[in-house]
Amino acid sequence: MVKPYAEEARWIESRLSRFPDQLQKAQTQSEIETVYGEIATFLDDVDKYAQELDLTATARTVKWARTWAADKKASILIDALFEMNRHLRQDLEGRHFLFVPNERLESYYIPGSALLGPDVRARFPSAVLDIEEASKALAFGLSTAAVFHLMRVVESGLRELSGVLGIALQPNWGQYIQAFNDAVKNKRKRKGVSWRRDAPFYTDIAGDLELIKSAWRNPTMHLERYYTSDEADLIFKATKSFMQRLATK
């Protein structure tokens, strides 16, 4: 899960500093009820935040604050809110957060498995989990992991396309590509009208698969290669283009 926790912490601290003043200034019953309603909603948000990050002291203070808010005991509630701010700071000092540059987050962390485009997601449902993992790995700078998952995405496409050609499951890429080439040759011999239209596509795909296997897939799976961020970016772009072409069939 990728969330802007620092932004949420700033928002919580800002609200905590304002509520005591709002409670003290509220005069009419309507104003008082409005402030207490906002505080109740705010405490629900803080509790969720505290549970996600295991902020135990903060969560405990939320529980106390809810009691005083329900009883409308303003002076005690104000003390609880100040205490909550102190506990939040103390809890966060014991937590570590991974910084992700906005450029990488916006370029690669695309929720809904849409990193390679909606057509790829719809055409290859078996690749969804690996698309999501590749997305996170690229955003976090885990370059070799990103290439690993991108190769699994390509394999999902290979299997789906093999099914279109009537090819049974194969134990490895080499046999898949051999069976793929055999199927292409058989169809070429028949020289049907539809095949003459599709032949260039399948011929190009067969060649691309062989190149991908030799350049990226095998070295990645057999511990021969580690990838830099720039290399992973290039492989991502090539994979995206390849999978979008596959999605047209």
- What confidence score (pLDDT) does residue 183 get? 83
Query: Stretch 26-41: mean pLDDT, rounded?
Result: 92
Q: Domain ends where: 49, 71, 93?
A: 93
What is the DSSP secondary-structure string of 150-197? HHHHHHHHHHHHHHHTTPPP-SSHHHHHHHHHHHHHHHHHHT-HHHHH
- In percent, the amount of the chain with pLDDT more than 70 equals 95
Query: Stretch 70-98: mean pLDDT, rounded?
Result: 89
- What confidence score (pLDDT) does residue 193 get? 64
84 and 168 assigned to the same domain = no
Contact, 131 vs 120, CB < 8 A? yes
176 and 216 assigned to the same domain = yes
- What confidence score (pLDDT) does residue 44 get? 95
Q: Domain ends where: 93, 120, 151?
A: 93
Query: Stretch 212-220: mean pLDDT, rounded?
Result: 92
**139-164 burial string, b = 16+ CB within 10 Å, else e?**
bbbbbebbbbbbbbbbbbbbbbbbee
pLDDT tens, 103-113? 887 788 776 66
Determine the structural domain holding residue 141 and report its residue range. Answer: 102-246
Query: Stretch 196-225: mean pLDDT, rounded?
Result: 86
Residue 155 pLDDT exceeds 70: yes
- What confidence score (pLDDT) does residue 2 get? 58
38 and 127 assigned to the same domain = no
Q: Tell me the average pLDDT of the chain.
A: 88
Q: How many domains does the chain have?
A: 2
52 and 143 assigned to the same domain = no
178 and 199 assigned to the same domain = yes
Query: Stretch 198-212: mean pLDDT, rounded?
Result: 86
C-alpha torsion 74→78→79→80, nearest 10:
100
Residue 98 pLDDT exceeds 90: no
Q: Domain ends where: 46, 72, 93?
A: 93
Residue 199 pLDDT exceeds 90: no
47 and 141 assigned to the same domain = no
Q: Where are the alpha helices (DSSP H) in 26-117?
A: 29-53, 56-70, 74-93, 102-108
107 and 205 assigned to the same domain = yes
109 and 89 assigned to the same domain = no
237 and 178 assigned to the same domain = yes
Give pTM, 2 decimals: 0.72
